[in-house]
Structure 1
């Protein structure tokens, strides 16, 4: 892990609080004891993706429509751990390399967040926060899993005009984001919302418009 003093100024609130993250959604999504497969996702923050837009951005990939789980959904790069992975950071970086062509050497791991339960796929997910110190071009390197890759400015994510609530046919209602021609919802939106709150970047947005999911 990097010394927080080496990070850009905007990183400091998140880096400091990530090490002691608790409360929602971590307390609500604690994995069942002894169940599920270990996995990790990479929440990768960089900056400078778009001229004229200051501040951090986060990497989001759109899942391929043919996947068995989470088909077509925006998500963080990530997946199940393999025996060769040294730890969950290694899992997150390897998966991002395979899925979007990310060079692991361009990323500085900053912190891991508490493990959370993804019931749909029975995964125990460790979110890994990373600083993209040397951003480079990424793409859908694994078309069977990834349809596209986008860097989304945090300023757009926290804009109240882009924050909505998504309602699943099951009745579940959760936070969502309408950004860059995507509706980010479900597990990814819940974790992203929690990270924005943790960093102190969120802005008041009220209950938000309700968007039904088909």
Structure 2
């Protein structure tokens, strides 16, 4: 493990946003807000849900030199976890009191889950806090550019049992897009490598594609049953 991943993290290092260093193909995504992502998620429940007292920070890490070769870092959360088990997600987790700020939290979590060297990335923007009504989650997405890609992988399978760098072109392919439905709620989703990407992660990716103009036309007419699609996937989710 010591040869594959950074031996230690560097808490407090590289925790300042540098939007001026954003590559030109990511600049249009710097001003996304949490409300933009919520609009994509849609309203899943009619009842009021109180926000969680704790916030989470996730790292939305884009690599590459242009939109044509762009990649994104994703994880598969272990089915044994109590929260969001089996889901495909950006590296991230709860903001601790010892974290310098939410950027520090996102980078710490990324190192813990994937072995990411925080000095290899440039934090570009904080999309603002996204309140996900269904469970009251408060999520802060940190958009970053992976200027010097390195090795990442599974560090602790009890937390994330799959880590992969996915070409964005696979997510944009119309055949990998779908709309999922549960009762009156619909939301965009992706199907890649046997996994289904939905929820906040899918909404954030969709928002990114719309803001950057990368979005390709795809058929949004079919409304596939959420639970049936998840059950037939590799996600192995304990709760939908």
Shorter chain as normaliser: what TM range?
0.7 to 0.9
The secondary structure found in structure 1 opposite 2:71 is strand
Q: What does 1:64-213 correspond to in 2, within 5 Å?
A: 64-119=78-133, 122-168=136-182, 172-207=185-220, 209-212=222-225, 213=227
Answer yes or no: is the 8 Å Cα contact 2:178–2:190 preserved in 1: yes
**Which residue of structure 2 lines up, in the alignment, with residue 36 of structure 1?**
53
Corresponding residue for residue 14 of structure 1 = 29
Within the candidate set 15, 19, 25, 2:37 is matched to 25
2:63 aligns with 46
Q: Work out which of the two has the higher radius of gyration on C-alpha atoms and give 1 or 2.
A: 2
Contact 2:93 2:109 in 1 (8 A): yes
The 4+ residue runs of structure 1 with deviation greater than 6 A are 31-34
Which residues of structure 2 form unaligned runs of 5+? 1-16, 232-240
Which whole-Å CA distance do the structure 2 matches of 1:139 and 1:183 have between them? 20
Q: Structure 1 residues 63, 112: CA separation in 2 closer, same or farther (over 3 Å shift)?
A: same
The whole-number CA distance in structure 2 between the counterparts of 1:191 and 1:167 is 18
Structure 1: segments with no counterpart, 5+ residues = none
Change (3 A) 1:66 1:208: farther
After TM superposition, give the deviation of residue 96 of structure 1 in Å. Answer: 0.4
Distance 1:85 1:121, change over 3 A: farther
| Cα deviation, residue 72, structure 1 | 1.1
RMSD of aligned residue pairs (Cα, Å): 2.6
Contact preservation (8 Å) 2:35, 2:130: no
Q: Cα distance 1:90–1:25, how it changes in 2: closer, same or farther (>3 A)?
A: same
- Scaled by the length of structure 2, what TM-score is found? 0.75
Please report how far the alpha carbon of residue 38 of structure 1 lies from its aligned counterpart in structure 2 after TM superposition.
1.3
Deviations 1:39-62 (A, max 9, x none): 1110000027xxxx9421111101
Shift of 1:181: 2.8
Q: Give the superposition deviation at 1:68.
A: 1.2
Determine if the alignment matches structure 1 residue 2 to structure 2 residue 18: yes
Q: Is the 8 A contact 2:81 2:159 kept in 1?
A: yes
**Residues 121 and 201 (structure 1), Cα distance of their counterparts in 2 relative to 1, 3 Å cut:** same
The answer to whether the 8 A contact 2:129-2:140 is kept is: yes
